[in-house]
Amino acid sequence: MHKWITFPHREGVCSKQAHADFPEEAIYERETGRSGFFGPASHFHHQHAPTGWIEWEGELRPRAFNFNLVEKAAQISPWAVPDLLFNNDCKIRTWRLEEKMDFLVRNADGDELLFIHQGKADLYSDYGHLTVGEGDYVVIPRSTNWRIEPLEPLFILMVENTDAAYSLPEKGMVGNHAVFDPAVLEVPSINQQFKDQYSEQETQVQVKRHGQVSVITYPFNPLDAVGWHGDLAVVKLNWRDIRPLMSHRYHLPPSAHTTFVGAGFVVCTFVPRPIESDPGALKVPFYHNNDDYDEVLFYHAGDFFSRDNIEAGMVTFHPAGFTHGPHPKAFQAGREYKKKFTDEVAVMIDTRHALSFSDEAQSVENQEYVYSWKSHPNK
């Protein structure tokens, strides 16, 4: 354990409260902080936007990827799609599926989190049958047998929690029922639909371990459970059941929107909410240095109010080590309080250790994204 060096101090012209009541001399606030908004932090007030660069050289840069264009995402097996962004803690992939899986899969490397970006399907697993559809998160515990039968074409964001399990965030003083009540979580059922798929037909299971796939063949369908009891299972949560924490006087940090906690990363969900109404409150995400975490945002639906030229199915990547924040038009719109409500839905993955990019990810990268903060881009 360690104790941070703390000495709250005020220097020069600054506001009394973070993210509110900025001095007229400097309307641009920048937060520097440690431990992903949980550690010590300082707030600078600048005369110019911290993202006002005119040129950028080197690999440490903001990136944008269009995951709609990943060519190898359409595969019958999730283990055949490429990793896109990855480190030792997590693997981020996209998977497109239109036809029924006639085999089972099992991830022996860690828990799998599916976010259903598009489509609808029946999911069969050791625990029973579950219907999943657009906007659902599905947590699949490590080494669970499962398969999917699409009812509509699927576009799935997959986030593997390598060598670890997903858990829920600590909700502290707001209580266990804030953000979402655990009662909204759904688990599979041993229903008639599940019983109808019992079979004595030969069935294969594709098991992934250390990134390698082994195939186990059974003379029957291993999804033959007649019942189960316990507190470990496939779990479903839809973003529409998330009731975000809000403050009309203070723009909450992204950590307030944490949905799942992995080992070395967190998964947050941004859902529609009222925009701060207090005259002095910041109304768009604040400029910040998230200096301990890489930040990945997958855009699911709506109008992404802090970004320009971003559409559903795209991903932005903001690495630790540089300042990022709203685009110029979004910042100005926030000052003018043009919108009273956000309608965006996005999945954020913040990783403690640096992410790498596969060739497939780099092939769908927008190389000009780094210049999108220019007020008058010339690139």
Q: Which residues are annotated as a binding site?
A: 288, 294, 324
Give me the amino acid identity at 28. Answer: Y
Catalytic residue among 19, 43, 251, 318: 251
In contact, 182 and 171? CB cutoff 8 Å: no
In contact, 304 and 270? CB cutoff 8 Å: no
Which residues sit in the known binding site for homogentisate?
Answer: 324
Which residues sit in the known binding site for Fe cation?
Answer: 288, 294, 324
Give the other-Cβ count within 10 Å of 57's Cβ.
Answer: 7
Residue 251 annotated as catalytic: yes
Contacts of 209 (CB under 8 A, 6+ apart): 108, 109
- The three state secondary structure string of 320-379 is CCCCECCCHHHHHHHHHCCCCEECCEEEEEEECCCCEECHHHHCCECCCHHHCCCCCCCC
In contact, 259 and 268? CB cutoff 8 Å: yes
- Cα(30)–Cα(10) distance, rounded to whole angstroms? 15
Phi, psi of 360 (to 5 degrees): -65, -40
Q: Which residues are part of the catalytic machinery?
A: 251
